A = this chain, B = another copy of it.
Amino acid sequence: MNPENKRDSVLCSALALFAERGFDATTIPMIANSANVGAGTIYRYFENKEVLGNTLFQNYVVTFMKTIEAHYSEEQSIRQQFHHLFRAMVLFTNENEHALYFIKKHSGAHFLNEESREDFVQLLNLFRSFFETGKEQGVIRELPSEALIAIVYGAFLELQNLVRVGELVPDPELLSGVEESLWDSVRHHS
């Protein structure tokens, strides 16, 4: 996001700081400072720190879902659907630095309100229904969908974190290697 106004500037700085240090370890003055804005200005746009956190969380969960849905079609083979899911995750990560890591780090956080939690459940449901279909077709491994999600989601986010801190460079070769690895972890092997 290129901050074109103070509100966006606050959101943008808060996202980076929350992802880096966590919600609780980030202070309002830090955010104000990083956004080049007075502390009071933040309260013109957000009722309080929690609202700011929830706004960010919901924004990005919804954006993530849209990214997935935009690249998704139930017509295709499960393998192709998986490819699109994976590409959507990569795309979202590229277009929204810090966002996926912020979501992951705070998906169980205490400051989240009901709406944020529901949005997150919906996101998981996208993945769940994919795996359910795959298992019905005998293409996906017979494990609880929760477990399959955890494997792909956990592995991907841990990788994304390495990229974030610069320990890994996401060139095409690495990406396709990772996609294959994750696919092998969830597919049915005969």
B-side contacts of A161, CB under 8 Å: 150
Question: Number of copies of this chain in the oligomer?
Answer: 2
Further pairs besides A22-B22, A147-B177, A151-B155: 15, Cβ < 8 Å: A22-B109, A24-B25, A142-B177, A143-B174, A147-B168, A147-B178, A151-B178, A151-B182, A153-B158, A154-B156, A154-B158, A155-B158, A181-B186, A184-B189, A185-B185
Chain A interface (Cβ < 8 Å from any Cβ of B)? 21-22, 24-25, 108-110, 141-144, 146-147, 150-159, 161-162, 165, 167-168, 174, 177-178, 181-182, 184-186, 189
- Do B159 and A110 touch across chains, with their CB atoms under 8 A apart? no
A43 to chain B, nearest CB (A): 22
